[in-house]
Chain A
Amino acid sequence: MERFGEGYLEERKLVKRWSGPIPALVSLVLTLGIFYLSWWIFQDPRGVMRMYTPYVGYMYCRWWLIMMIWMVYIFNYWPFKRKWLENTHPLLKGAILTTISAVILITLIKGFFEGLLGNYGLAYFNPEQLEKLPGVTSFFAIEYSALAILMFAAIASWLSPAWVVAFEEAPWQKLKQPAKGFSILMLTFFLSMVVYFVTMHPHMGILYHPWQYFTSIAPPYWEQFADTVSGNFHISWIMCCTVVVWLVETIWERYPFNLIKNDWARRFACFFGIIGIALAMHFFLYFAQELTWGEAIRGTRRAFAPDWRWLHVGEMAIFFLVPALFVTFYCNNWPKKYSMPVNVLIRTVVTLIGAIALYIVYYKTSHMFLGTQKGFSHPQQFPMIPMIWLVNIWLVHHWFMDNWPGWKMVQKTAEEIDADHEAHQAAINDVRWTPRFGAGLGAGVAMGVLFYFITVWALPSVYAAVNIIPGK
């Protein structure tokens, strides 16, 4: 039977070429170098193509992420065969797969969104259609349509991996490629479209004067709850979903959902658990801003506006993704020597510290090298763009290039694969209900709640002491 990339990521063994942290450091330096070079070529406002207008660059950046998720997570590298994946030099493999991802990306944006949807369905997906409206300049026509397309991407970048991570590809897990890939793609694209219409379409419907009452719900139903008519309220929780999917998949190893024995119960718990955790992040990160900057004021601009605060929740969430992926891709998901819950907790703490450090470093220094400006609330500046751009480069490096040159890819033997599965199952079985576990759980919940309130109490003074942007 012809094999494609099913299980390739789990069944490859990445062997360090050098001892200790050197491979991780080399990878970090190399990927940051590629990041900066490609940022200059494609995104930087001072660079070559200057796509960071901002929405055009953001749209391509966001959809490129999804292209790679589709190719690797949904289609398992199809139509490339396993032998090709195993035997091709990482540089060549990376170049070919990246090129393919870019071709699909451009086809999707130009062909599907702008060409098909924009010309035959919803005008706002196509800049040329928007330009026909009185008063809409070419620049904003492009920005509006890029905004709509990237909003779709925000949803798809949560739902596409969520079907694999939470629903474990069910009910098509036994299908061969490409039937499995197309089934998951169709379903997640359909779901993305449904979510898009009930979250983002009303936002687009009030972009034009008068509000488009006939085609979208105006004012939007979330207005009173979110304190804004802006769709940024949804961007916020959807971004959190995007991040939580990957936290669950990487540093959490799908814990604690993997404890549930019943397949469908586990799948639904994981899918809705991701949404629940994302909502918790969504509300807390908004609260954190209220604690540090003061209450939002509806109708104002920048840092005090509810719409920007919701957007900034999504921006803060993305800072968690970067260290989490680094721990998984380049630190072999350190640590692994304790029980699964303890490993997960340690990785989460490391990720949290990394996210906070990255946030501070980004806002303190990024304007010195990204062609952006200092300050939190520039209306055309989104840290999601450089962060996701870096994540994209890491995905190319980790998924397409086997972490070359810091690591060498060796295919695991059948025995090693079996041993891995057994060890993973043993780690799950190791967590079971006992009176002591119950006592620990109760104590842990109390500690978690206590930690939350200590954070709430300390956050204003800690933030004031850090002084991320002097003079703010």
Chain B
Amino acid sequence: MSDNMKRRDFLKGAATGVGVGLLGAMGLYSYSSVRKGHFPTTERKMTDIGTCRSVKVTNITETSWFDNGVLMGDIKGAGGLLVNQYDYNWPPFGNGKGLGKGSYEEGIEKIKHLLPNRLDEAWEIIEGNSVHPENAGGYAALVEVEEMSGNKRKFLLDVGWSYKWCDECFKREGIDTMLENKEIEALFFSHEHFDHFWGLPVALKYDPDITIYIPEGFYPEGLQYIKDCGHTGKLITVKNGLNPVIPGMASYVFAIPIICRVYGEQSLYFNVADKGLVSVTGCCHQGIIRFAETAYNEIKYENDNCHGIYGGLHISPFDDWDPKYDDLVISLGDYGFERIGCNHCTGVLCAKKFIAAGYPVVEGTAKFRSKDKAYLGNGDTITFG
């Protein structure tokens, strides 16, 4: 055999062997328990965000829409869950052209001159030009933080969707007066979704000067809407990651893609004295367990204990279901939350599964169009601490 032949044979063998060795290692090693030795050991940062004495959350509105079938019919008709939310032709951006043919520019043009003070007139125009304005509700919550000194500070989390519904809810809970009296020091937006963000003029009608915190990831339409609504206060774009607000309170922004072309979510952490971590969320698209794990890795909280949850957990917002949601129902117990006040996009089915699993779900009163007592419904409150 010539040297050239030998070399060629060696190369053929080597080329074959590389594939065999690589695939063998991939198959045998990659999912073995030994692989865990490669995972980086993440040092807990234990960032001190301070402590507060208690957190009280008032549910201004959690009913983002009143009829799931109607909303999903709109989503289906417009082309599904990836359609840009400003294109659905939902209120307040109706242009009169019908489902799926909306645009921010055409919609806002019809009502911009009436914002934020003449909302009744604006809503009349909106009703004539939008798809299913009667189905719009909204999500908004009042968060009252009691500092260790006993001083109480108020914040809004989101402002709902329908001008008409949200104004009713604001008045019902006295939010209008609080805003007028400048008792509420800032408005936090969890994310840009229609049912959390589009009711902004209702808040600005009573306090156009309020400081607004938005998560990184708002689209140009959303940023323009804040201006078009007549906001005159400070607008703070919160970067991804941890953002301490006051002692015992911090927000955290997750860079995640969300349905209807929305990006980024901001949720709130509280460290309640003697109790532990409290999570307050708009939709929690990042997942409550990711939120809890992030807290574990990032911040220091009392007794290293997960104490409470309030808000939407985005499990089955449209009464849909998926086996991955069962993963959450099965796993949430491992985190030891002691009080769970869930509503909105958690889904009634999910709340019932939580109750069936024996989790400490705080039941509501099912008032003001909230569907079920498994939810912490409209007008209900929950206090941690």
Contacts and interface: CB of A to CB of B under 8 A. Distances in A.
Contacts of B79: 45-47, 50, 52-53
A136 to B, nearest CB: 7
B15 to A, nearest CB: 4
Nearest to A472: B255
B26 A281 contact: yes
Given A283-B26, A300-B290, A302-B256, A443 B14 contact: yes
Interface in A118-149: 135-140, 142-143
A446 B21 contact: yes
Contacts of B43: none
Contacts of A372: 82
A283 B257 CA distance: 26
Nearest to B335: A299
B289 A436 contact: no
A298 to B, nearest CB: 5
A331 interface: no
A261 to B, nearest CB: 17
Interface in A427-472: 430-431, 434, 436-453, 456, 460, 469, 471-472
A340 B76 CA distance: 51
Interface string A176-189: 00000000000000
Interface string B296-332: 0000000000000000001000111111101111111
Name, among B1, B256, B258, B314, the residue most crowded by chain A CB atoms within 10 Å (CB to CB): B256
A232 B82 CA distance: 21
Contact of B13 (A283, A436, A451): A436
Interface stretch (B45-53, B66-74, B171-179, B196-204): B66-74
Contacts of B117: none
Contacts of A136: 319
Contacts of B147: none
A135 B18 CA distance: 54
Contacts of B36: 295
B40 A298 contact: no
Nearest to B291: A300
B15 A139 contact: no
A439 B10 contact: yes
A341 interface: yes
A265 interface: no
B322 A298 contact: no
Contacts of B290: 297, 300-302, 304
A238 B90 CA distance: 40
Nearest to A452: B25
Contact of A379 (B35, B259, B318, B319): B259
B15 A341 contact: yes
Contacts of A207: 321-323
B40 to A, nearest CB: 7
Interface in A240-293: 256, 276-277, 279-281, 283-284, 286-287, 290-291
B238 to A, nearest CB: 12
A378 B258 contact: yes
Given A45-B80, A142-B76, A345-B15, A290 B323 contact: no
Contact of A449 (B6, B24, B72): B24
Contacts of A138: 69, 72-73, 76
A134 to B, nearest CB: 9
Contact of B80 (A50, A281, A344, A379): A50
Given A138-B76, A280-B23, A304-B287, A342 B12 contact: yes
B87 interface: yes
Interface residues of B, number: 83
Contacts of A290: 35, 38-39
A90 interface: no
A208 interface: yes
B17 A378 contact: no
B327 A437 contact: no
Nearest to A45: B82
A143 B12 CA distance: 49
Contacts of B17: 440-448
Contact of B38 (A341, A342, A456): A456
A222 to B, nearest CB: 11
A303 B334 CA distance: 20
Nearest to B217: A471
Name, among A219, A300, A438, A439, the residue most crowded by chain B CB atoms within 10 Å (CB to CB): A300
Contacts of B15: 339, 341-342, 344-345, 440, 444
A431 B321 contact: no
B261 interface: yes
B244 to A, nearest CB: 20
A303 B314 CA distance: 15
A342 B257 CA distance: 42
A375 B263 contact: yes
Contacts of A378: 82, 257-259
Contact of A46 (B84, B258, B324): B84
Contact of A306 (B10, B259, B327): B327
A441 B24 CA distance: 13
A294 interface: yes
A248 B24 CA distance: 17
Interface stretch (A13-21, A26-34, A152-160, A223-231): A223-231
A295 B324 CA distance: 17
A431 B12 CA distance: 7
B286 A230 contact: no
A62 interface: no
A54 interface: yes
A328 interface: no
B246 interface: no
A440 B9 contact: yes
Given A300-B328, A302-B256, A339-B11, A256 B16 contact: yes
7 contacts: A290-B38, A291-B39, A298-B327, A303-B256, A308-B324, A345-B15, A440-B17
Interface of B: 1, 6-27, 29-31, 35-36, 38-40, 42, 68-69, 72-73, 75-76, 78-84, 87, 100, 216-217, 240, 255-259, 261, 263, 285-290, 293, 314, 318-324, 326-332, 334, 349, 352-353
Given A54-B81, A301-B328, 5 more contacts: A371-B82, A436-B9, A440-B13, A443-B14, A444-B13
Please give me the 10 A-B residue pairs with the lowest Cβ-Cβ distance, nearest first.
A444-B17, A448-B21, A440-B13, A50-B79, A299-B331, A53-B80, A375-B257, A301-B287, A280-B27, A445-B21
